[in-house]
Amino acid sequence: MARKHITPGKIRLTEVAKLAGVSPITASRFFRNPDALSAGKRARVESAAKELGYVPNLAARALASQRTEVIGVLIPSLTNNVFADVLRGIYDALDGSRYSIQLANTRYSILQEERLLRLFLAQKPAGLIVTGINQTADSRRIMETVDCPIVQIMEVGPSPIDMMIGFSHFDAAKAAIAHLLAQGNRRIGFLGARMDPRVQRRLDGYRAAMTEAALFDPQLIVTTAIPTSVTLGGTLFADLLAKTPDIDAVFCVNDDLALGALFECKRRHVAVPEQMAIVGFNDLEFMASSEPTLSSVRTNRYEMGRNAAMMVIETLEGRRPTDPVVDLGFSVMERQSSARRS
């Protein structure tokens, strides 16, 4: 005999089955596919489970069935507000479902991402949500061969691994610049921090729009690898102004930078928008209530997370979404900070 024998009070599936007067297998089916039971047994098992306060042992289930009900989520940052919204969407979508989330932070490193991916896949997740479309070649190969729904979030692009939901950062940035140009601005600066792949594509969109307008000038661009912050927005804006004092507008790759730039303008008594137009990116809540209100590009982060999780669930339940690639779009929110000068 190997170990201490059965703890008396413990409630296993067997106990529920016994009380309900059915076989353990039937009780098991009740929890996984109740429709397969006759109405009578279904009711008996249900009340027995409730009476005993039965909670399934997920480890045993995972071991026996060779799969889990865990959806792995790989995001590059826990601090960034953008991902907080996405996560909230994911958690909301999974709330009340049988699935749970395993979250991991790649810290903007695709090698770290690959490591975490291997770790996740070893535990046979039910599904996977990964950020962006820039994975290592190995990561991609691994994900292509694995048999579970995978959603790439935050942006759309060609050749999804499986499914994809996001928007075009290139188009979004281009639209922001188009707006600034339409308001009569000519010397439009670019402020970028962190410079992850999605921010790079916003820079590409900026470059394309400016080149089309024959207004491109590399001197207008200030970027850094440092993580973003409001303080950094002020610093970068000061740098830009030092390099190119004749700018009439600035496009910031996110709202923190935009807010920092606004504060820096106030410190320097540069009137916004009269002397300087500002546009941010993401449209965080505060943009609409600053003074002046700040223009931004609205992105649908909560919906992105929510839909991504729903796409995974639907696939798992056999109702695979008709279109594997969803473009959630964006909208340029035109506010006081980029209003046309009178």
Binding residues vs its own copies (CB under 8 A): 55, 57-60, 62-63, 68, 78-79, 81, 84-85, 87-88, 91, 100-103, 105, 118-119, 122-123, 229-231, 233-234, 256, 259-260, 263-264, 266-267, 285-286, 288-291
Nearer of residues 56 and 197 to DNA, judged by Cβ: 56
What does 132 bind: DNA, its own copies, none (CB cut-off 5 to 8 Å by kind)?
A: none
32 near DNA, judged by CB under 7 A: yes
50-58, 78-86, 125-133, 204-212 -> range binding DNA (CB under 7 A): 50-58
Identify which of 284, 255, 132, 283 has the alpha carbon closest to the alpha carbon of residue 191: 255
What does 5 bind: DNA, its own copies, none (CB cut-off 5 to 8 Å by kind)?
A: DNA
Nearer of residues 112 and 200 to its own copies, judged by Cβ: 112
7 near DNA, judged by CB under 7 A: yes
Distance CA 53, CA 50 (A): 5
Distance CA 300, CA 316 (A): 24
Cβ burial, residue 83 (10 Å; 0-12/13-18/19+): buried
32-40, 158-166, 186-194, 203-211 -> range binding DNA (CB under 7 A): 32-40
43 near DNA, judged by CB under 7 A: no
Indicate which single residue of 18, 46, 52, 57 sits in contact with DNA (rule: CB under 7 A). Answer: 57
Q: Are strands 249-252 and 188-192 parallel, antiparallel or unpaired?
A: parallel
What does 118 bind: its own copies, DNA, none (CB cut-off 5 to 8 Å by kind)?
A: its own copies
Distance CA 97, CA 127 (A): 14
Indicate which single residue of 46, 52, 56, 181 sits in contact with DNA (rule: CB under 7 A). Answer: 56
Indicate which single residue of 8, 38, 145, 158 sits in contact with DNA (rule: CB under 7 A). Answer: 38
Question: Is residue 154 within 8 Å of residue 198, measured between CB atoms?
Answer: yes
What one-letter code names the amino acid at 41?
K
φ, ψ for residue 147 (rounded to 5)? -105, 70
Identify which of 304, 82, 290, 67 has the alpha carbon closest to the alpha carbon of residue 193: 82
68 near DNA, judged by CB under 7 A: no
Going by the DSSP 8-state scheme, the letter that residue 22 receives in this structure is S
What one-letter code names the amino acid at 99?
Y
3-11, 207-215, 230-238, 314-322 -> range binding DNA (CB under 7 A): 3-11
> What distance, in Å, lies between the first and last C-alpha atoms of the chain?
89
41 near DNA, judged by CB under 7 A: yes
123 near DNA, judged by CB under 7 A: no
Edge-to-edge order in the sheet of strand 188-192? 221-223, 188-192, 249-252, 277-279
Distance CA 120, CA 124 (A): 7
Identify which of 133, 210, 218, 194 has the alpha carbon closest to the alpha carbon of residue 169: 133
Bridge partners (DSSP) of residue 252 are: 191
Indicate which single residue of 14, 100, 123, 331 sits in contact with DNA (rule: CB under 7 A). Answer: 14
What does 267 bind: DNA, its own copies, none (CB cut-off 5 to 8 Å by kind)?
A: its own copies
29 near DNA, judged by CB under 7 A: yes
Long-range CB contact pairs, 287-290, < 8 A, 24+: 287/255, 287/258, 287/259, 287/333, 287/335, 288/333, 288/335, 290/259, 290/262, 290/337
Nearer of residues 38 and 159 to DNA, judged by Cβ: 38
| Positions in the binding site for DNA (CB under 7 A) | 1-7, 10, 12-14, 22-26, 28-29, 31-32, 36-38, 40-41, 54, 56-57, 60-61, 63-66
